[in-house]
Amino acid sequence: MKMVIITACSTGVAHSRMCSAALKKEAETRGHTVATEMQGGHNLTTQLSREVCQDADIILIAYAIAIDDQERFEGKIVIKLPISKAIRNVKAVIDKVEEVYASNQD
């Protein structure tokens, strides 16, 4: 599965970076292709293009603040959850992403 993971916290440093790295590692361990973007404060990793987002099978957003440019995800399966829950339950989050993706393949 092709997955986009976007994390966002108020400063864009600790929580976003830790969460992004943990989710990406777990997803890649399971064989998924992952593109990541971190938002927050004055920090923004390279913003993922609309094309990258539209090419993904699913978008996972772990947030503590609002996400910019959500129109990039139009028509895609989007899962949103608080970043604090994602950090504490990485495996369960990826389990949920796989479950939602599988249920939309019917």
Looking at residue 45, its pLDDT comes to: 65
Class of domain 2-103 as given by CATH: alpha beta
Domain segments of the chain as ranges = 2-103
CA dist 92 and 76 (Å) reads 21
Residue 14 has a pLDDT of: 73
The catalytic site residues sit at 9
Tell me the residue type at 3. Answer: M
Q: Which positions of the chain have pLDDT values less than 70?
A: 11-13, 42-45
How much is the pLDDT for 17? 87
